[in-house]
Structure 1
Amino acid sequence: MSMSQQLAADLPFLRRYARALTGSQERGDEMVRAALEAVLADDELKRSLGEGRVALYRAFHQTMEDPSDGAIAGAAAAQGGSTGTKEAAAASRLEAIAPRNRQALLLTTVEDFTPDQAAKIMGIEAGEVERLVAEAVREIDEEQSTSVLIIEDEPMILMQLEDLVSSLGHDICGTATTRTEAVRTVTENRPGLILADIQLADGSSGLDAVADILALGSVPVIFITAYPERLLTGDRAEPTYLVTKPFREQTVKASISQALFFK
């Protein structure tokens, strides 16, 4: 595989990582674009991209880190001065709440890197990555609880998500297997978070269901799908939070943490 082909295959997932760090598709994509421009202007970093996905994420960290504290969040905030007040406030919170912990957690859960790979990306030791992940998990456990709507048509996955959500101290305000059920549930019980599958029982789309719901009011959404690359094309508005099936529970927990953090 050529370097350009490798980059094309890995870039959608780097964009997912950047938007999870920032809570915003726009801000995350700005970070990735700026990082790629810096990488392509540096011959050494450019050559390193041929080494694969770990090298791409490492180059992203190297180009986007804030020199004062090594936090990607700092660079994101510096870039995002022209974005909305909500995102600026979120960036400020991100800087204050252990950004290194969040990076380590996302890299080892949502992005599925090993501690050794995450250590190479972050420029630290593997043991430090594990310590940061443990701290991030404690932060998740301390979050305020909310009510959750689960849109999922596979019974076993639905049960798994119900157990996971409950274990985090959140309430389940309802479940739905179709677009119609999902919208009806939201009108009766306004959730604080939505977990949504893409393909639903009657052939309807979870994307359409969420679009209907968001027309009623703002609520963070985490999409769960077996085909994330179909949504991370850059051709249209994309989910900020996207979990790949089959998922690990830690991945869903990390995504819930990100979504509630930016709520």
Structure 2
Amino acid sequence: MNTTTAAPDLAKLIGNELPYLRRYARALTGNQTSGDTYAAATLEAILEDRSIFDHSASPRVALFRVFHSIWDSSGAPVAGLDENESGLAAAAQAHLAKLTPNTREALLLHTIEEFSTGEIAMVMQVEESEAKHLLDLARQEMEDSISGKILVIEDEAIIAMDLQSIVSDMGHAITGVARTRDDAVRLAGEEKPDLVLADIQLADNSSGIDAVRDILEKHGSLPVIFITAFPERLLTGERPEPAFLISKPYGEEQVRSAVSQAMFFSSTQPLHD
């Protein structure tokens, strides 16, 4: 009887946290397919050996800890440079290769997934002091690596101003602020951005997703960060979905981390068939 009830309970615990593991894995790898592959490998490992899921920790910490064991055992891979790779993609991989090991992981766990320093230490299986050191180092390394031009697609004036302030303070230039799909496409045509930061619901009931599709069709692959109050709707793994996603309400550190991460990856193609 206990065995019968244990399986559904574990499945429910994991299922509740799985969308957020996908979000983290996609941001870590810069790609939906790669991120979802690591998330799937995590589930397979737990199914094969349920003892690796630590029930003494919170379900989220336990799940992410299994993920990290797999991630570490694979060497936390950074793709090698292709001889035909150029521009932002080449710069991204060059910078990634120079980063101190585990810094990006710690930063994403803290800012995007909102783990405490103590929880990060448990997930990464390091001392809490080491987790704090990795966070401090990550902030400096990531923000110093790449700067560029950012298009903001956001219909709420206060939020748009806040986003502009955050990314400008990071050293990035703002190419414009769009309130509608048409505005976004027009602004991207006037000056091609290096990154797009997009809300999903826009002023005239148009879609930030559609705006991004239009921009990508015209300008090719660009890193994109979506902002939404309903992140779980874009983390199902059932269709092309974004690699970089910020939940509303967001914090400044979340935006800074997501922007720094996304600027590394020009191969990201959110919601692009």
1:193 aligns to what?
195
User: Secondary structure at 1:21's aligned position in 2?
Assistant: helix
String of CA shifts for 1:44-91, please: whole Å, max 9, x gaps: 114649841111001111233137xxx5x23x76xx9xxx979x9767
User: Secondary structure at 1:142's aligned position in 2?
Assistant: helix
Pair 101,91 (structure 1): closer, same or farther in 2 beyond 3 Å: same
1:30 aligns to what?
37
Rounded to whole Å, the distance in 2 between the matches of 1:175 and 1:119 is 39
Give the TM-score normalised by the residue count of structure 2: 0.85
2:123 aligns to what?
121
1:221 aligns to what?
224
CA shift at 1:234, angstroms?
1.7
User: Secondary structure at 1:15's aligned position in 2?
Assistant: helix
Give the TM-score normalised by the residue count of structure 1: 0.88
Rounded to whole Å, the distance in 2 between the matches of 1:124 and 1:142 is 25
Pair 91,2 (structure 1): closer, same or farther in 2 beyond 3 Å: farther
Structure 2 gaps, min length 5: 1-7, 267-273
Rounded to whole Å, the distance in 1 between the matches of 2:62 and 2:164 is 37
User: Secondary structure at 1:246's aligned position in 2?
Assistant: coil
Q: How many residues were matched structurally? A: 252
**8 Å Cα contact 1:35/1:64 also seen in 2:** no
Runs of 4 or more consecutive aligned structure 1 residues displaced over 6 Å after TM superposition: 88-92
2:177 aligns to what?
175
Pair 49,151 (structure 1): closer, same or farther in 2 beyond 3 Å: farther
Rounded to whole Å, the distance in 2 between the matches of 1:35 and 1:85 is 30
CA shift at 1:94, angstroms?
3.7
1:5 aligns to what?
12
**8 Å Cα contact 2:148/2:194 also seen in 1:** yes
2:45 is the counterpart of 1:42: no
1:133 pairs, out of 132, 135, 148, with 135
1:145 aligns to what?
147
User: Secondary structure at 1:236's aligned position in 2?
Assistant: coil
1:66 pairs, out of 73, 79, 82, with 73
- The one-letter amino acid paired with 1:113 is F
CA shift at 1:235, angstroms?
2.0
Rounded to whole Å, the distance in 2 between the matches of 1:175 and 1:92 is 30
2:109 is the counterpart of 1:107: yes
RMSD across aligned positions (CA): 2.4
CA shift at 1:192, angstroms?
0.8
Rounded to whole Å, the distance in 2 between the matches of 1:166 and 1:184 is 22
CA shift at 1:31, angstroms?
1.1
CA shift at 1:10, angstroms?
0.5
Deviates more, 1:133-142 or 1:155-164: 133-142
**8 Å Cα contact 2:93/2:264 also seen in 1:** no
How many percent identity over aligned positions? 48
CA shift at 1:233, angstroms?
1.4
Rounded to whole Å, the distance in 2 between the matches of 1:245 and 1:215 is 27
Rounded to whole Å, the distance in 2 between the matches of 1:49 and 1:240 is 31
Pair 253,47 (structure 1): closer, same or farther in 2 beyond 3 Å: closer
**8 Å Cα contact 1:193/1:221 also seen in 2:** yes
Rounded to whole Å, the distance in 1 between the matches of 2:85 and 2:73 is 21
**8 Å Cα contact 1:39/1:63 also seen in 2:** no
1:158 aligns to what?
160
2:27 aligns to what?
20
CA shift at 1:232, angstroms?
0.9
**8 Å Cα contact 2:53/2:62 also seen in 1:** no
- The one-letter amino acid paired with 2:47 is L
- The one-letter amino acid paired with 1:28 is G
